[in-house]
Structures are given as structure tokens and as C-alpha cells.
Structure 1
Amino acid sequence: MTSTGDRAAEGSTVGDPVTRGAGDRGTRANAPVIDHSHADVSGGWLRPATFGAMDGLVTNIGLIAGVGGGRLDPRTIVLTGLAGLVAGAISMALGEYTSVRTQNEQVAFEVDKERRELAFNPAGEAEELAQAWIARGLRPDLAREVATELAKNPDEALRVHAQEELGVDPQEVPSPWIAAVSSFVCFSIGALVPLLPYLLGVDQLWPALAAGGAGLFVAGAIVSRWTRRVWWASGLRQLTMGALAAGATYLIGSLFA
């Protein structure tokens, strides 16, 4: 015969989900925690900032190496480098602004077309979306059910159709102003690095090239923070490309000296 106390003890052990799941919770507690956060890949600043910094470094290293190879005086080299900095920064900013804005306008045009198609033929568009999901392995009945339910929310339906058919999220397009400012600032900083030795009074070419090479390596290593590549490999890659550019322009300058 089981006493009341025994039944209470049994109930607290068998029927209590806290006790029953203790082993499972222990396993989950020891499992590694996965970070599901992601960096902003559509904000429009990383690509132009990286491109601007690298272009500024390579452009002015090449310019300085070219006029230095031509045996020009330090004042001319500084003027050439400053002209390259200003012209390149403005060109980069205008180019980035125009390209990103043009891309956004094209996306807006295609999204408007999709909006009209959804309004004119919602059933056909829902079936088109369902067929895309079926092709990916979703059950036909489930795909059609989800697509039909989604059609009841026009804004969300438009977003999903744009993602499926255009590969873009119309709510997360990059900013042309951010792209322009990022490229302008980073190009200017990059282009200034090989000029610093001359601005500090050095009148030889090799310190400027060394400063530019160091800047390329550091910039490549910094970029690896977002790409998760090996930092020194990323730095060496940028340094190698800059060295090739400097070697080519120095050779051309020497030929016309």
C-alpha cells in the first residue's frame, strides 16, 4: 500500500516537468551558444569605404612612384599627390552616389512593376510564388496555402515577391549618400598616407612608398575583421597589389625621365 507521502514524492518526481527535464536541460546548458546576429550587409558603407581606402592608397602610391621614378623634385611630387587626392576623392564620391542611386531607382522601378502585377493578378502571383517554393522542395499543398495566406498582406507579399524574383529587399536598399561620404572620406585618408613623409619634410621616395605599403597592409588586415579572413593574408594581398601598381608606374616614370 502506497502512503500519501509516497504518492506525493512520486508525483513530485514523475509528474514534475522541472525534474523530468533536468537531464535535457543539462545537455542544452552544455551546448555551445551560437551567435545568430549578423552584420549590416546592405547599408551601403562597407564596400565603398573599403574600395575608397584601397583606391586612395594604390592611386597615390602609383602617382608618387611614377613621378618619383621620373626624378621630379619633392615639391612636384607633393603637388601631384595632393591633386590626385582631391580629384580622386571627388570622383569616387560622385561615382558611388550615382551608381548606388541608379541601382536603387532600377530596384524601385521593378518593385513598382511587381506591385502592379500583384494588384492585377493576385491569384496568379500567389501561384507563381508557390511554384518557386515547390521547386525548392516544399509540399505543394503547404506552398499554396502559405502563398495564399501571404497574399492577404499586400506589403509583405510585395516584399517576399521582390526577394524571390529580384533578389532584393525593397525595404533595405543602400543609401547613396552613405556610399558617397564613405568613399570620399576613406579615399582621402588612403591617399594621404603615402604623402605624409613628404609633408613631414622627407625628400626621398622610399619612405613614401614604405608608408603606402604599410597603409595597404593595415587596411587589408582591418578589412578581415568583417570578412573573417586571416588578417595577415588579407594584408599581404593588398600589399602585393599595391606593390605591383607602384612598380609599373615607377618603371614608366623612369623610362620618361
Structure 2
Amino acid sequence: MTDVDEPLPDPAQIQHEHPDVTGGWLRPAVFGAMDGLVSNFALMMGVVGGSQSSDTQPVVLAGLAGLAAGAFSMAAGEYTSVASQSEFALQQVDIERREILANEPAEEAELAAMFVDKGIDEDTAREMAREVHLDPENAVRVHAREEFGVDTDDLASPMLAAVSSFFSFALGAIIPLLSYLVGIESAWPAITLSLVGLFACGAVVTRVTARTWWFGGTRQLVLGGAAAGLTYLVGEAVGSSLG
């Protein structure tokens, strides 16, 4: 056993590291790009299937419109979602602050009980809670984290979420357009680029999952390709009926 009088180790000397188990920025960025790629790829293939001529202008127009509409929609939706979540969290923090100011002994006892539930002996838990409550704002932060999992110093930024969603979606959505934008009229280069992009996104996502890169890549390629293929058939059916 470790001597209780032994000084605590310097955190800088502890070498082991863990991956970011929450996914950090990687997961939303890759999923945003994947969403843009799948939706715009499918949209463009639907227009290709429904086109009655070799003119690529409707396909390019649909792709650009899908990119713009999707990116702005994602940005607006993400901003609203994250802002609402942060506002709700801050409201709960304010409620907790009022409760602490109105009845601090009861809140201190509640915090001690939570520490006991985590396996800390009662005397130590009471002392920890007492020290936490020496600073009311520190008590608010600790209660918020322990009671409803909110870190008041690390709330998500709505603007950052919106901008990130906009650019990640646009990055994915432009992939099916690239070959058309350089003047290639055949759909096959766009299909090839899109399938490669789908595989790459699926492979990258496995960095924050337990799956192998080839499984993640293949799964996303199959799902995204199926979505585009089915949309192509829908477009072809609609185009034939209108033609």
C-alpha cells in the first residue's frame, strides 16, 4: 500500500494517455462531411437519373444548391441546438446557485452524500464538501458537475458549432461536384470520387470507435452508395414519367 504521507505525484510526470473517448472535434467534423457527401451525392445522382439529355447543367445546379442549402441549414440548426442546450444548462446552474445561497448546509450535506456514493468514507466526504463550499462559486461548479454533468467552464460555443458544421458539410458536399466543375461531363468520375470519399470518411471515424478502418470504410461506402443508387432509380422513374 502507498504511505498516506507520501507526496502526490506531479501530474506532468504521469506519462500514460487515453484517447479522446467522447470523439472531441473529430466525430462531428467527419460526420458533418459525411452527411454533406451522402446527401449531395444522392441528390446529384437523382438528377442524373431523371435527366433526359446529356446536359450536365441541371446536375451542377442541383449540386451547388444542395451544398449551399445543406451547409446553411446545418449551421443554423447546429447553432440553435447548441445555444438552446447551453442556455438550458446555465438555467439549471442558476437554479443550483440559488439553492446553495438559500440553504447551504443542506446542499453541503447533499454533496457529501454524493461523495459517499462514489466510495469515499463519510468523514472524508464531509470534509471535502466543507472545503468545496468555502467558495460559493466553486460549490456551484462542483454541484453542477456532480448533479447534472455540466462543466460551467467548458460549455460548447454555438458559433463555433455553426461554423464547423457549415464548413464540414460543404467540404463533403463539394466532392461529387469536383469533376463537373472541371468540365468532365460523365457521371462516373463523380461517382468514383464520392465512393472514395465515403470510404475515407468511414475509415477516419473508426479512430474514435472500436471498429477496424476497413470495416468502417466499407460500411459507409455501401450505405452511401446504396442511398445514391436508390435516389438515382427514383429520379429515373420520375424523369421517365414526366418525359
Q: TM-score range by the shorter chain?
A: 0.7 to 0.9
Provide Cα deviations, 1:148-202, integer angstroms capped at 9, x if missing partner.
2211122221111111111110110111111111111111111110111111222
Provide Cα deviations, 1:43-90, integer angstroms capped at 9, x if missing partner.
7x4444223201110111110111111135311101000000011111
| RMSD value, Cα | 2.1
| Matched residue type, 1:172 | D
| Matched residue type, 2:71 | A
- Alpha-carbon contact 1:56-1:88 (below 8 Å) kept: yes
TM-score normalised according to structure 1 size = 0.80
- Alpha-carbon contact 2:70-2:169 (below 8 Å) kept: yes
Aligned residues: 224
Describe the SS at the equivalent of 2:119: coil
Aligned twin of 1:169? 151
Q: Distance in 1 between matches of 2:26 and 2:164?
A: 8
Q: Distance in 1 between matches of 2:42 and 2:23?
A: 31
Consecutive unaligned residues of structure 2, counting only runs of 5 or more, are 1-13
Q: Distance in 2 between matches of 1:93 and 1:75?
A: 27
* Cα deviation, residue 228, structure 1: 6.4
* Cα deviation, residue 145, structure 1: 1.8
Aligned twin of 1:36? 17
Describe the SS at the equivalent of 2:201: helix
Trace 1:177-192 onto structure 2 (pairs within 5 A): 177-192=159-174
* Cα deviation, residue 40, structure 1: 9.5
Larger radius of gyration: 1
Which of 80, 83, 90 is the equivalent residue of 1:98? 80
Q: Distance in 2 between matches of 1:42 and 1:211?
A: 26
Q: Distance in 1 between matches of 2:58 and 2:211?
A: 39
Which of 50, 53, 56 is the equivalent residue of 1:70? 50
Q: Distance in 2 between matches of 1:155 and 1:235?
A: 47
* Cα deviation, residue 91, structure 1: 0.7
- Alpha-carbon contact 1:193-1:211 (below 8 Å) kept: yes
TM-score normalised according to structure 2 size = 0.84
Aligned twin of 2:40? 60
Describe the SS at the equivalent of 1:36: coil
* Cα deviation, residue 224, structure 1: 3.1
* Cα deviation, residue 105, structure 1: 0.5
| Matched residue type, 1:149 | E
| Matched residue type, 2:180 | Y
Which of 189, 194, 197 is the equivalent residue of 1:215? 197
* Cα deviation, residue 93, structure 1: 0.8
Which of 71, 82, 94 is the equivalent residue of 1:89? 71
| Matched residue type, 1:79 | L
Aligned twin of 1:232? 214
Q: Aligned pair in 2 of structure 1 residues 199, 42: CA closer, same or farther (>3 Å)?
A: closer
- Alpha-carbon contact 1:117-1:125 (below 8 Å) kept: yes
Describe the SS at the equivalent of 1:159: helix
Q: Distance in 1 between matches of 2:98 and 2:119?
A: 28
Identity %: 51
Consecutive unaligned residues of structure 1, counting only runs of 5 or more, are 1-32
Q: Distance in 2 between matches of 1:154 and 1:47?
A: 36
